[in-house]
């Protein structure tokens, strides 16, 4: 490989379902130790983009490279945390078993889980502060706890790139902060991409931000730009955040007084 392995690089990527592109012409570059937040309205193609990066759907146009190769070949180096709502709540399975699943890709066909796998499983459960729950059935956990388990499952295979789809949907604010500070720590060892429609929580943790609404509007700065958001949401946007503060504060510049730009 001539060029260094970039975790994610897409060039002119269009993808979608049944011949209709949901995202088009997306250029995205994620480098080692990036913490990228991709925000956008519902239906903007956030999950579609993740699926293209994972190689679950083929690009209609353009290219996706993960660590310099096609996603199918490098998928094992990606940790993926899907939206938890897609899981079967009633499945008879314990926390430990779910996390251990993450070790499967390291194993050969007839190779059983080893003591090493169990040790690693315990380590990541401790990292996400869920060790006390390891023998609980997954159905007994709260939304935030489930989310931690699915993050642990992605981490147990020591991924070099972590993709998270709406990691804090259906999680309360306090838990949400806990999850993001965990991600911040993990970011020292791996690139992280978070997609969410919840703009408020992202700004204090990310190194790069992009808006996805069919097309990608990106910025290399860890702050949201008003134009970007307005392009993505197709309406004037004013951004106020409550994250970690008692008083709402702005992350964008003030609107010009008197609406002179209208």
DSSP state letters, the chain: --S---SEEEEEEEEEETTEEEEEEEEEEE-TT-EEEEE--TTSSHHHHHHHHHTSS--SEEEEEETTB-HHHHGGGEEEE--GGGS-TT---BHHHHHHGGGGGGS-TTPPP-HHHHHHHHHHHHHTT-GGGTTSBGGGS-HHHHHHHHHHHHHTT--SEEEEESTTTT--HHHHHHHHHHHHHHTTTSEEEEEES--TTTTTT-SEEEEEESEEEEESSSS--HHHHHHHHTS----EE-TT-SS-EESSPPPPGGGTT-
**Count, residues near other proteins per rule CB under 8 A:** 27
Q: Which of residues 107-136 bind other proteins (CB under 8 A)?
A: 110, 113, 136
Contact 130, 140 (CB under 8 A): no
Note whether 233 binds other proteins by CB under 8 A. Answer: no
Closer residue to other proteins in complex, CB, 83/219: 83
Among 11, 60, 101, 252, binds other proteins (CB under 8 A): 101
Q: Which of residues 136-175 bind other proteins (CB under 8 A)?
A: 136-137, 139, 153
Among 29, 56, 60, 251, binds other proteins (CB under 8 A): 56
Note whether 62 binds other proteins by CB under 8 A. Answer: no
Note whether 77 binds other proteins by CB under 8 A. Answer: no
Closer residue to other proteins in complex, CB, 88/261: 88
Note whether 23 binds other proteins by CB under 8 A. Answer: no
Note whether 104 binds other proteins by CB under 8 A. Answer: yes
Distance CA 171, CA 185 (A): 20
Closer residue to other proteins in complex, CB, 87/233: 87
Closer residue to other proteins in complex, CB, 24/139: 139
Note whether 60 binds other proteins by CB under 8 A. Answer: no
Contact region for other proteins (CB under 8 A) — 34-42, 62-70, 81-89, 124-132? 81-89
Among 11, 93, 169, 251, binds other proteins (CB under 8 A): 93
Note whether 98 binds other proteins by CB under 8 A. Answer: yes
Distance CA 191, CA 70 (A): 18
Q: Which residues contact 88 (CB under 8 A, 6 or more apart)?
A: none
Closer residue to other proteins in complex, CB, 11/54: 54
Which residues are at the interface with other proteins (CB under 8 A)?
Answer: 54, 56, 75-76, 78, 80, 82, 86-88, 90-94, 97-98, 101-102, 104-105, 110, 113, 136-137, 139, 153
């Amino acid at each position: 490989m001539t060029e260094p392995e970039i975790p994610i690089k897409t060039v002119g990527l269009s993808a979608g379902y049944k011949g209709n592109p949901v995202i088009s012409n997306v250029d995205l570059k994620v480098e080692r130790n990036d913490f990228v937040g991709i925000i956008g309205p519902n239906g903007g193609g956030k999950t579609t983009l993740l699926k293209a990066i994972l190689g679950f759907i083929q690009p209609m146009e353009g290219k996706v490279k993960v660590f310099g190769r096609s996603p199918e070949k490098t998928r094992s180096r990606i940790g993926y945390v899907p939206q938890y709502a897609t899981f079967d709540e009633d499945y008879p399975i314990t926390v430990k078993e779910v996390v251990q699943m993450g070790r499967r890709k390291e194993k050969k066909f007839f190779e059983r889980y080893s003591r090493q796998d169990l040790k690693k499983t315990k380590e990541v459960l401790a990292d996400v502060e869920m060790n006390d729950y390891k023998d609980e059935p997954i159905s007994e956990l709260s939304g935030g706890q489930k989310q931690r388990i699915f993050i642990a499952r992605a981490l147990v295979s020591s991924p070099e790139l972590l993709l998270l789809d709406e990691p804090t949907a259906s999680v309360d604010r306090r838990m949400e902060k806990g999850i993001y500070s965990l991600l911040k720590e993990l970011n020292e060892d791996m690139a992280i991409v978070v997609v969410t429609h919840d703009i408020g929580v992202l700004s204090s943790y990310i190194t790069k931000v992009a808006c996805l609404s069919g097309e990608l509007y990106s910025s290399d700065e860890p702050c949201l730009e008003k134009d970007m958001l307005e392009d993505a949401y197709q309406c004037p946007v004013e951004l106020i955040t409550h994250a970690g503060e008692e008083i709402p504060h702005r992350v964008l510049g003030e609107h010009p007084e008197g609406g002179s730009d209208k």
